[in-house]
């Protein structure tokens, strides 16, 4: 395995300016994550705060046992009780079979930085992955894409829960899930690892009660012995720990909402896109009612559902936080606050859009007497197997260019090169010749009726259309003649630039586990990443 860094042509003003340490942007954060001593500074700042370490460790032990975590994970959970310990954390929704590869990339990022900083700081630095089980957008997590020849096919799994039921509360219909699993994996080619993979997934599915259980136990298998600690934001035991923190967020809601609104306006004024809508009346909390999550807003002294589904006084919501905190959950604004109240966070890993919306949270953190942790964009990886490498070499295509821009231009250029003269060039010349030769006939119509003039113009258009049709027929014949080669171009495109995006946004790890087993993940986990590098290519 070989790993190489690569620059991406992102066209993302936020990430470019953030990694370029532009001061006007960095002032929206408490730390510059690229400063040499930033983690030492953050460690010292964390020493001023107290955390429910023992209670949190007890809860993490309980839920990670349920997910069949390794001894390394339980050892790390015990180390969380150490007052000097800190965590590197990041999170994602519980995608079926782990979802797109960016989830795997985020865990790789967490593990790598935790290992690096433990050696440098001399204190326990623990890797934590926050499963966003409280989210209810099931359409985001209920499918994977797998390849069929040169196309990616979507494989969705359905359930009968209400639309706004959180993923943590979605019980698995195991019979339906087994049918989906077997049908999905049948699309993969049989390899030396297929039976083992299917056996592993069947076992995980059999022991899981919810989609989060299935996700978490599979992650523990993929990252066995790394010590990764998983936490489900929608778990009832976690909710009990959060009771007092919900109380604080409810009390400070006016300050939180106003600061977020002002920061969002500031970011947009500076020309940065932040994919969050916020106003001064947002409650930034959900309440569960009749099995569904309802987003709350402030209406004077009351909290009301966004669509008027419910209404609570401030005192009633505080009582819910005290007595039944499992009914409350966070949105994109309060989830980061809750994370920092629970964990002594040395650093937080975010996706590009996620890092952008954290830029509006600095003063929200200050309103609850916290600093925002250093925020690092997670590592981005593209996995390139030998077949893809051979095809890149065959057609002399630069992998960096393929990942950045795709290869449609190379495909068309190659096809055009298979004739002595490109079809399009010949077509354009013929159309120009016809137009010039037709001009004297059109000139004769100038002193005649409008009808004959229009007829002459239409006649020219018909002639040119006939040429276009011939050109299309010739292109089709050439495509048929070079069908195998063109499919090879499509294969490269599907692997390196699917749907004109990065591989990590669509591909799922199951495809690579089926081809290569689980060992290759260990090689990636042993690599030392540079957090200012935008992207890495992993060659199998």
Q: What is the pLDDT of residues 245-274, one digit of tens each?
A: 999 999 999 999 999 999 999 999 999 999
**Domain extent for 484:** 387-514
Distance CA 404, CA 71 (A): 41
Does residue 7 register a pLDDT over 70? Answer: yes
Q: What is the pLDDT of residue 483?
A: 86
In the chain the first and final C-alpha atoms are separated, in Å, by 5
Q: Is the pLDDT of residue 493 over 70?
A: yes
Other beta carbons within 10 Å of 5: 13
Q: Do residues 371 and 365 lie in contact, with contact meaning Cβ atoms separated by under 8 Å?
A: yes
Q: Is residue 303 part of a domain?
A: no
Within a domain: residue 411?
yes
Tokens matching residue 419: 């004739």
User: How many domains are contained in the chain?
Assistant: 1
Residue 246: inside a domain: no
Specify the pLDDT at position 163: 76
How many helices (H) and strands (E) the chain has is answered by 23, 15
User: Does residue 452 lie in a domain region?
Assistant: yes
Cβ neighbors of 526 (< 8 A, separation 6 or more) are none
In a domain, 472, yes or no: yes
**Residue reference for tokens 């292109």:** 475
Quote the CA–CA distance of 253 and 285 in Å, as a whole number: 9
The predicted pLDDT at position 328 comes to 95
Highest mean pLDDT among 4-18, 38-52, 454-468: 38-52
The CA distance from 96 to 83, in Å, is 36
Mean pLDDT of the residues in the chain:
93
Give the pLDDT confidence score for residue 10 in this predicted structure: 73
pLDDT, mean of residues 504-528: 96
The arithmetic mean of pLDDT across residues 169-197, rounded, is 93
The arithmetic mean of pLDDT across residues 514-538, rounded, is 93
Q: Indicate the DSSP class of residue 429.
A: H
Q: Are 296 and 400 in contact (CB under 8 A)?
A: no
Residue with tokens 């809860």: 59
| 362 within a domain of the structure (yes/no) | no
Is 90 exceeded by the pLDDT of residue 394?
yes
The answer on pLDDT for 420 being more than 70 is no
pLDDT digits (tens, 9 = 90+) for 317-366: 999 999 999 999 999 999 999 999 999 999 999 999 999 999 999 999 99
User: Is the separation of the CB atoms in 88 and 128 below 8 Å?
Assistant: yes
Residue 423, pLDDT > 80, answer no
Contact of 535 with 377, CB cutoff 8 Å:
no
- Give the single-character DSSP code of 10: -
Q: What's the average model confidence in pLDDT over 199-204?
A: 95
Q: Is residue 493 part of a domain?
A: yes
pLDDT in tens, 92-101: 999 999 999 9
Does a structural domain hold residue 490? yes
Half-sphere exposure of 477 (CA within 13 A, CB side): 8
Question: How far is CA 166 from each of CA 68, 133, 134, 161, rounded to the nearest angstrom?
Answer: 23, 7, 5, 9
294 pLDDT more than 80: yes
Mean pLDDT within 241-248 = 97
Summarize pLDDT for 437-475 with one digit per residue, the tens: 989 888 888 888 888 988 988 999 999 999 899 988 887
Phi, psi angle pair for 313, to nearest 5° = -75, 165
Q: What 3-state class would DSSP assign to 47?
A: coil
Residue percentage of the chain with pLDDT more than 70: 100
Query: What is the average per-residue pLDDT within 84-104?
Result: 97
Q: Quick check: 11 pLDDT over 90?
A: no
């Amino acid at each position: 395995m070989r790993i190489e860094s690569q620059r991406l042509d992102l066209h993302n003003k936020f990430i470019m300016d953030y990694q370029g340490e532009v001061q006007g942007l960095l002032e929206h954060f408490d730390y510059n994550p690229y400063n040499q001593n930033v983690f030492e500074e953050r460690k010292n700042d964390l020493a001023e705060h107290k955390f429910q370490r023992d209670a949190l460790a007890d809860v993490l032990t309980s839920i990670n046992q349920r997910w069949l975590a390794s001894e390394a994970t339980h050892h790390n959970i015990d180390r969380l009780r150490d007052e000097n310990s800190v965590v590197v954390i990041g999170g994602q929704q519980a995608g079926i079979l782990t979802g797109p590869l960016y989830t795997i990339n985020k865990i790789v990022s967490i593990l790598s930085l935790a290992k690096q900083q433990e050696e440098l700081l001399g204190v326990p630095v623990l890797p934590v992955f926050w499963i966003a089980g409280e989210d209810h957008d099931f359409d985001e997590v209920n499918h994977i894409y797998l390849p069929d020849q040169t196309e990616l096919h979507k494989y969705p799994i359905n359930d009968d829960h209400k639309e706004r039921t959180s993923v943590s509360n979605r019980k698995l219909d195991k019979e339906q899930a087994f049918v989906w699993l077997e049908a999905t994996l049948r699309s993969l080619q049989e390899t030396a690892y297929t039976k083992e993979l299917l056996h592993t997934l069947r076992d995980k599915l059999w022991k899981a009660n919810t989609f989060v259980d299935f996700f978490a136990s599979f992650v523990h298998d993929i990252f066995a012995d790394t010590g990764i600690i998983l936490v489900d934001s929608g778990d009832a035991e976690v909710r009990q720990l959060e009771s007092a923190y919900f109380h604080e967020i409810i009390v400070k809601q006016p300050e939180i909402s106003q600061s977020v609104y002002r920061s969002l306006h500031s970011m947009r004024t500076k020309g940065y896109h932040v994919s969050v809508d916020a106003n001064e009346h947002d409650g930034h909390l959900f309440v569960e009612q009749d099995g569904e999550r309802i987003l709350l807003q402030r209406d004077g002294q009351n909290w009301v559902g966004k669509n008027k589904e419910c209404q609570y006084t401030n005192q009633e919501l505080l009582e819910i936080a005290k007595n039944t905190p499992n009914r409350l959950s966070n949105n994109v604004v309060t989830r980061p606050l809750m994370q920092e109240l629970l964990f002594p966070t040395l650093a937080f890993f975010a996706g590009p859009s996620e890092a952008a919306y954290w830029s509006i949270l600095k003063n929200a953190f200050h309103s609850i007497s916290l600093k925002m942790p250093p925020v690092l964009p997670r590592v981005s990886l593209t996995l390139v197997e030998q077949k893809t490498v051979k095809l890149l070499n065959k057609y002399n295509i630069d992998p960096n260019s393929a990942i950045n821009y795709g290869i449609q231009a190379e495909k068309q250029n190659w096809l055009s090169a298979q004739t002595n003269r490109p079809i399009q060039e010949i077509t354009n010349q013929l159309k120009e010749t016809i137009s010039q030769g037709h001009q004297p006939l059109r000139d004769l119509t100038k002193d005649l009726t409008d009808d004959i003039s229009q007829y002459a113009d239409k006649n020219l258009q018909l002639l040119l259309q006939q040429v276009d049709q011939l050109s299309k027929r010739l292109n089709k014949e050439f495509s048929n003649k070079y069908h195998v080669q063109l499919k090879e171009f499509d294969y490269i495109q599907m692997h390196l630039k699917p749907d004109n995006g990065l591989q990590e946004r669509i591909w799922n790890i199951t495809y690579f586990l089926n081809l290569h087993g689980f060992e290759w993940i260990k090689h990636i986990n042993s690599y030392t990443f540079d957090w200012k590098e935008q992207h890495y290519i992993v060659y199998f």
